Copies of this chain bind each other. A is one copy, B any other.
Amino acid sequence: MKPLFCYVRNNFIPADQASLLIGDLSIQRGYGIFDFFKTLDHTPIFLDDHLDRLFHSAAQLRLPIGYTRETLKAILNELQQKNNIADSGIRITLTGGYSPDGYSLSEPNLIITQQPLLFPISAECPKPFRLVTWPYQRQLPETKTIDYLMAIWLQPYIRQHGADDVLYHHDGVISECPRYNFFLVTTDDTLVTPVRNMLKGITRKKILELAGTKLKTEERDISLEELPTAKEVFITSTGKHIVPVSHIDGIRIGEGPSRIGESPSAEPAPGPITQALNQWLYQLVMPNK
């Protein structure tokens, strides 16, 4: 298989040889930011939104990118041409650089990698997720840092509870999943999503725009107590678009408690609003399909 190229410290190099010296502040102190977007049919999706957020995250952590947006786009374009992957995920990472003392910021190291998309983007919703809740507030929540310490640490807890991912809350207010934004549909068909203390995803933004013309939408606090009353719940990400949520902490969403005699693995079908939003989003990114 032809090795994929990546872009590291101003050079295109085979990704399996790309490295950073151990003095980098990501290795020493977990300090860095990133962003992630996809290409479909070789076309970057929502690229300017992602670059807006990348520049915002970089500024928040005092990490100068060292390129103008136009130069960065030219590099991204060249990387795509070298790798020639139609449907891909591209990750741009910026670290604290080679620190002289292992603590102070230095010139940031920029890494750009491209890989085939792990999951096909589809007009059909993927298999629903089960979530388990956990009390946690991400630090610098509106910045896309590389800090996933808690998310990775929680993996055994998630598996032990038969769940697919974790839903964070703080003082009983929902924020996000580690790599997804959270939405629910109320009994009066209002689409609601948290408004603070979480990363504002690009897919979240597009969903709110798509829904806004057809549904009532609210960005506001959602309490843990509100979850069992939801008609539909889903989570959103760049890589998967919309993932329906069937259960939270073992409570089935949308169709009341599990029925006697029902298999514990029974998954309700995604709700109609979840399905419709997923189709609209698919049409938005694949207008010719």
Contacts and interface: CB of A to CB of B under 8 A. Distances in A.
Contacts of A72: none
Interface in A84-140: 91, 93, 95-96, 101-105, 111, 113, 118, 136, 139-140
Given A26-B26, A26-B27, A140-B149, 7 more contacts: A20-B27, A22-B93, A29-B146, A30-B31, A30-B145, A30-B147, A101-B118
A27 B26 CA distance: 5
Interface string A28-57: 111110000000000000000000000000
The 10 closest A-B pairs by CB, nearest first: A30-B30, A19-B19, A29-B148, A26-B27, A30-B146, A30-B147, A18-B22, A19-B21, A31-B152, A22-B111
A62 B152 CA distance: 10
Given A118-B101, A149-B140, A21 B16 contact: yes
B152 A29 contact: yes
A217 to B, nearest CB: 30
Interface string A169-181: 0000000000000
B21 A30 contact: no
B153 A103 contact: no
A17 B93 CA distance: 22
A156 interface: yes
Interface in A136-172: 136, 139-140, 145-153, 155-156
A277 interface: no
A8 interface: yes
A253 interface: no
A91 to B, nearest CB: 8
B22 A22 contact: no
A248 interface: no
B28 A146 contact: yes
Contacts of A25: 152
Contact of A32 (B17, B27, B140): B27
A145 B148 CA distance: 12
A232 interface: no
